[in-house]
Each structure stands twice: as C-alpha cells, then as structure tokens.
Structure 1
C-alpha cells in the first residue's frame, strides 16, 4: 500500500495524472472480468497452451467436477480426459485453431471417476503474458444419453422390422403415397421396398385381377372407417401366385393430431393350403365315418335280426323241454324214483335258466334299437309297482322298503321300468339273506346334478371290481349264492346311456350297495383321466 501511495504521489508530481486514471480503469475492468469468470454458471478454466497446466478455474468447474481449486491448479488439461481420448485432444491443440473454436462434444472425467459428456468451446488469448486457452464446458450428458437411447431404439426397431416375415408399411392419410416399406416386401411380392415407395400404383397392380375389387374396397373402408382387413391374391414377377392377409388402420399422433395410415401384409399361402388340406381330410374322414357307420348299422341290424330269430328258434324247443319235463315228473314220478326226480328237476331248472338268459339277452339288444319316447315319468309309482310284484313273488319275505315321493324324470316309460326292475330286483335279491332287508329308493343332489339311487343292506362287494358288473355275464358272486344271468347291470348301463345320463356304484362287503344314476343329458360325464371323487365309488358310463 505504501508503494502504491508513493507511486501515486510521484505520478501526480510529474504531471502524469492521465496515466494514473487509465491504470485505474484497466484495474476495474480486470476485476469485472475476474468476477464474471468466477461466477459464470458454466464450468470455465484456462490452461497454458505450452505446458497444458491450469492457470485459473472458476467456481462452477470446482462444483461440477469435484476437484478443489488447488487440485485443479496442480493438474494438466489432459487430466480431464479419459486416457483413450487424450490423443484426440492433442491433435486438436496441434492444429491451427481460430481464436474461438467449437470443439464439439467430448468426454470429461470427474474426480470420482464418473464420465460426462460436455460441449466444449476453446478461446485462445494471452493471460498473464502467456499464450493460453480458455475453456467453456457445457454438460450435455443427459442429452447424449437420450440421443443414444433413441438411436438404439431406432436400430432395434429397424432390426425387428427387417427380421419380420410380415411386411410393414406407413403411408399418408389419403392412402395415395407410401412413406415407409419394410424389406419383407421383396420376399412376399418380389419387388423391393424402394420400388413400392417410388411407384404408388405398383402394389395394386400386383393384386390378382379377380381380387382387385376386394383390395380397392378395403382401401375405401380404411379411409371411411379408420381400419380394414381382407385377404386376396397377388401375382409375383416369377409368375407364382400368393395369398396375403392385408390388415391396416389409421394412426393418430395424440400430441399434434397428425394422421397417418399403417398396415401389415402377411403371406398366408401356406396357412390357406394347410387349412384346405385339413378340410379335405375332414371331408374324407366324414365320408369314411359315414361309410363305417352305415356298415356298423347294417351289422347291428343283422345281429338284431339274428338274435331275434335265434331267440325264437331257441325258446320254442326250450319251452317244449320245460313242458315235457313237467309232465314227466307229474305222471311218472313213482317210476323215476328219488334220483330220477332230482335229475329231471335239474334239467327243468337249467332249461328255465336258459329261457331267462335268452329273455335278458333280447332285452339287452333291444335297448340300443328301441325308439326313445321321453316323457315325464313318475319313477316313484314305477318303483312301487316293481316292489309289489316282488312281494307277490315271495309273500313270506320280510323287507322294509322306503320309496321317496315325487321322483320324476324325462325318460322313456318302458326303458325306465326295465331300469328300475333290474336295480330294485338286484337289491331284493342280494338282501335276501338278511333277517329284515332294507331297500330305499330316493334322490340326491351331486356336482353332476340330480341323481336317483337304489340302496340296500345286502351282501355288497369290493368296488375295485365294479367295472366287471357292467359287462354281460360278469358276476362277483357264485350262482349257488345268488341266481342271475349277469346281464341286468349291463342293460341298466345301456338304458342310462341312451338317456344321456351316467351310473355309478358305492358298496362295501356285508354292508350293502347303493346304485346312483341320472337320466338327464345335463349330467356331466367324467373324463377318463379324472380320478374318482371317493375311493368307495366306481363311476361308469
């Protein structure tokens, strides 16, 4: 300060007051420049052009890059760049630069190692009597990342378009000019995307003459309704004809309301050929099924005719045998003696058993050919009639029978009676060894709908063998224990199936059996691979 004061006095005494004022103005300007440099919002620094060492750095650079001012002044300008970018920087500095040079976007490295993208401008000037470079850095990392992301998305979008077998296109809203066409057009129609963009009439000219009205109408629908789709043929330059599916719609930009149209062209020639082959195969299969059905129906008719004829021819001699054996035993009993009477009784019993078997087989065969006449049937009334007939056949039999009132079903009356005669007859037969038999006829609600049941407290059986009971002539008890032909449950199953229902069994040995059945087409048939709902049930039909 003393030196400055003496200098001022000297200057005043020597008459150099004007020089003093000029120096004051220069100092004020430097202070202002220094203040602008330090408080500028963008990072700024200056480095010696020869040594590359930092000369000055502003507050924004300190805040942005993380180095202190002292650390900056101990660094070289190259320390700001990743090592792989330094050669590029040196080449730039070695060139003859203009006083103000836009270096573009480069990468800088912060103190924490993070890389950022900055837009750099270089300004050559003399600072402190040295050739220096003033650097102004504008961080554009976010913009660069956004731009790179858009480029990646555009590349991925184009790669996707190029890899798709479907051809994509975009055009003006009036459908008079195509703006974009994907490379797949070359594969589908034999013409490049460039050709379609250059000639707006090319696509319609490729459409098969017979199908051109379809394509033209589809374009009109697009303009009128905003979307359209159709199928037609196109003719390729090699003379081949291909089927294509044409789907298109209007595209509206929500930001500015601008409108374009876009669509997808897909080659469906192979798809249509496969569909036609499937239709042809189905038609052939249908013809074979019809032929097989007719042959099967003819065989069944022949079998039924044979069964009726055989039954008639067999029943006549059987009835004669039964009649003559009865006369033999009545008239010549003394001559036969005990052994002869026993043997003749066996013959008569066997003949009657054969007669019953023929009757049961006839009933079984007639179930399939019987013309159904479903009406509302009172199953309760039929069950009471069946029980009354059974009591009449065995007057001394002790049995408690409970029949629920109001059991109705849509069924053929004759087949419904045959069904209940077999089921209640079985319950009556297999509970015959009980001191007091219990038989119940009722209904329950199940997941399959309404089911009717016939329950008894008879001999029962192991349900693991239940499948056998629905096959003709299969029995789980010896004929010496319980009489029968083994055809009754097979007949019941056919009757239930004819009515669109199902039948299942629940049984335990020495406890009893319950037969559940439905006569409604609404009842669900369990798929073959569905496990039984209960290990104690056997579900059939």
Structure 2
C-alpha cells in the first residue's frame, strides 16, 4: 500500500493526526487570542491610567493655582472692587464694618473675599479652560457654598483625619469630570470674614474642590484605544494566519510521517504475512551463512524450533554441500547473481528431504541473503515414479503386439513409434519418424483416399477409429484396426495423438468366412421358409378333401353305420381338422416378415386399446380387466404384426387362468437409452420354476398341457410373437413367480430416434 493511498486502517490514524493538529492549532489560537486580548486590556487600562493621571495633574495644577490665588487674596484681606449688578456687595459679609468703602475719588467700593472672587471668576470665565473650582463647607455663609453629599462626607473624613484627599469620576451636567477635593483649614487670614462662625485656626472648616472635564482626555484615550485595538487586531490576524500556516505545515508533515509510518508498518506486516503464510521455507542469513531469521514453514518442516535454527549456520542443515561450496554460492550471490539450485536438507529426526533454493542478496545492514526454500520431495518422488513409469511404458510398448505411437494431431510429426511397427507395417519405425509424410503411400490404394478423408474429418473430435489395409514392402497385404485418442499435453496444453494399430488380418479372414456362411444360411432359411409356405399351402388341399369326403361319407351312411364305424369316421374328420390347423399355423409362421407393409411410427397405446376392444366378449366371459398404463410410447414397426403380438398375449392371459377374475396389466419403462421394455402381466396359472418352461413355451408347437385343456391350441402363438419381436429389433421372454402366481411376458422394442 502506498503512502498516498492509505488503507482503511490508516484512516483513523490520519483522523487522529488531523484532530491533534486541530487541537494544537485551537490551543495556539486561544493562547494567541488571550495574549493579545490581555495585552490590549492591559494597554487600555494603562491608557486609562494615563488619562486619569493627566486629568489628575491638571486638577492638582488648577487646585494649587486656586489655593495660591486664595492665599494671595486672603493675605491681602480681600480685594475691593466697584460693585456692579454682577458683583453686588456680598450680603454674607454684611457683618464686616469695612465691607463697603468710598474711595478718595468718590467711587464706591465693596469687599470680595477669596470665595467670592473664585465663584465669580468661575461663573464669568470658566468656559475659557473648562475647569470648575469652588470652596465649600458644612458650615457656610453663602448657601451656594454648601457641600454636596460627597463633599460633605469628604469634609467629615478630613476632619476625622482619615483622608487628606478625595478623587472621583462623575457626571456633571451629563458630562464626565474628574473631581479633586482637598481640606480647607482655618487660617488667621480667614478669621476676618469667617471668624464669627466659631472655627479655630488649623481646624477643617470645609474643602476646596476642582472638577476637570474628562471629555478631551477620554477622546484622546479613545483614539489611542482604537489605535491599539487596530494594531492588536492586525497582529491577531497575522498571528492567526501564522498559526494556520504552521498548523497546515505541521499537519502535512505529520500526515506524511503517519503515512510513512503506516506504510512501513503495512510493509512489515505484509512482509511478515507473506513470510509466515508461505508454504515455502524462508531464511535470512548474513554473509557468513548464519541464520538470522526463519519462518514457521521451515521450522515445521525441519522439526527444529525457531530458537534452535537461529543458532545454526547453513552447513548445519545442508546434507549435500560442503562449507566450501556454501561459501562459493554465497560469494556468487553477493556479486549480484541470483542462484537457484537443488540440494537436500537434514531434519531434526535425522531424515533428509529435497529442497529447491532461490537466493538473492541485499547489501543493507552489512549484507543480507534472502533465501526461499521449497520442499520438492513430492516432485522428486513423482519424477522417480515418472522415470519408472516411462521405463515400464517403453518395456510395454516395445513388447506388445500392437503398434503404439505418439504424434501431432495432424500427423506431420511422430514423437514415438513402437517396434511392433516393423512387424505390422513391414517397415522400420525410424523411417516413419524421419519422414512422417510417407505413411499415406503405404496404405492400400483402394483404401487410401477413404482413410485420408476420414482422418482429416475426425481431427479434433477427441477419439476415432477405422479399419484399413496396408501394403508391405514384400507385397503382402495386412488388415489393421487403428484407434486414436487426442489428449492435452499437461506441460504445454497443446493436444497430441496417442494411437494403436492392431493386426486384424486373421479376424478379417474369419469375418469373411462367417459372412459367406451367414449368406448361405440366409439363403437356406429363405428357401426353407418358401418351402414351408408352399408345402403348407399345397397340403391344405388334400386335407380339405379328406375332411369334406369323410363328412359326406358320414352323412350318406347315416343310420347304416354302427358305433365303431361312426367313431372311425369321426377320428378321420378330427385328424384332418387338426392337420389343417397345424398347416394353417405353419403357414402363419412362414408369413411373418413376408408382408409388404413398410415400418412406420406406431402408437402402442392405440394398438393396446384396439386389441382390448376386439376381446370384449372373451373378457366378459372371463370377468377380465385389462389395465393399460398411459401413455405407452410410439415405436417404429408394423402395426399389423404388433397387433398380432398383443392379441396373442392378451388371448393367452384370458385362456390360461384360474377361478378368480382375470386381471391383465400392461406397462412400459425405459430399458437403457435405446430400448423400451413392455410387460404384459396376468394373475393366471403361472409356470413351474426350474423346468425351463420360460423358454420352452416359445418353441414351435410346444404346449405345457393336454391338447384339450384350456381351450386347446397348437402352440404356435408365442413362436410367432418371438419372430415378430425379433424382426422389430427386440427380444421377448417369460417370467413367473411359480404356479398360480401369474405370468409376465416381457418384450423390448427400439426407441424412436429424437
């Protein structure tokens, strides 16, 4: 399996690598985000501190300015100014006798203390710098100088010594301000205006507050925060991209490493699977022939354990090679020449076994030899058996009377011809092997074309045979029976021909003599049948005269003959009638097969049914039933003759029966691939066993009973049936289980071709 195409077992590992990289990337992104988020928060906090510090510094500067202004004003006992509508005389200083004065030039003047001056300056000119300042107290002259709750709490803390300064950010008129508030202590210069309130010098009598507007500072801070946010955002994006790039590179490297690891593992597993599941043995040795690895197959075959084998060298196991030849083989393999050879190895039990060795060399690790060892004991045994078989085959082929040969299918090359060829064909086998084109010329001229055409038409059919004549060099003619078998070559797969030639010259001579005798016998039988036909036909004429005149004589002498004379005339008449029946039956036998009706398909079912219908009266007399298995097959034959067979068989069953009602059955079944077997069975008197009656009843004029028993008869019916059945290519016989157990007449007929 390649590293680029992981198998199903690699998918979970690759998914784990991906998940691990994703986790690390997520953790890195989280850490980076927290770092930048923390940095941004810290910088924003620091910027806010700077903003507050700047505002505080401003507030302190203004506070100190106000304090300095107050000290200057109070140090001079206040300031006299011309009263105006905006600056009227302070009603809160009316207790001062010198509140109002008239200058030398006649102008009217009124006293402004520091609080009055600071309040009016803030009212008239505070918009110039936006900073608000005022002096307040819990006890006050002017209600406008009343401390708010925050200021009042601060004054109490100042008075108690818990605080020396208060600062807060709050909204004033909807705008954020930084408020700075410090204690205002009673000083001698303050006694002029406020001494009547009861405060002692150094006592906290109020506070001085400064409120710095934060809007400009917060706007500056917001701009700085935006810059910092943008900078941190850009850094976060760049860091995220860097983390993603690092994650992708890490994923690629880890995937490559994982795939390589899986490939190495799979390769090792495949290597192990191949080595351990192989039926062949395997070694890995060093250049000195020490076994470094063996598989189970070799351990099992040798009988040694793996541990024992790993402590051995090649010469401990090789039963044929010397240490020198083993070293020579190793050096040959080390030079890059693959080696394949056969040897024998020793097993632990002392036995030896044949081994085929294939060796290759790999220079890694100081040099390793990979050795595959195949057990070829069975092959070697088969080779020995084959050699012995070939030896026996040659002995057989060279001693049998038949010619045996091996040739190509087209007979253009003969691989082997047995020595019997010299005796049957009269020529040397080497001559045929040297020139396979000669053999057609050695065939008898009258058979040559027929044989060549036959062979050409049957090549490739698998098996064929024929008879032909050959002409030997001395001019003698021999009849040969040739039989050929086409078989596949197990090594190449291409077919070749095995053939036998048998000398049938003597058999052909005997066959010719038998054919001549059979022809003579057929002529004799034909003459005999013709004689029987003529004789039986001509004999009936005098018999009819004897019967007619004996009957006429009895009629004319009626009343004049005594009892013996009438008996004599009856004997003459009965004997003539019997003689006529015998001649008529003999004539019937001779007529079988002499008809001109051609063979044609005949339905046995129809014939059996017609025969049964023609015997209705006899069946009623015998209380008989005839059961016909349906359907009976069609056969090739003469319907008249087959009708006579069934009529004779049914008639005999109706004739030879006992007291019980007659039951006749007809059935049919296959008798091999080419014949039908028809059985006509009855429940009649049966046949005695062991006396040959089964064959005797088919003899001409043979009866097993007295002449007048069972309705008489001449014994001609079954011989006629046998002659008809045999003429149709079948045979007929009788079967019985004994007297009183019925009889089965069985006959066979050829099947119709498909």
| TM-score for both structures, normalised by structure 2 | 0.37
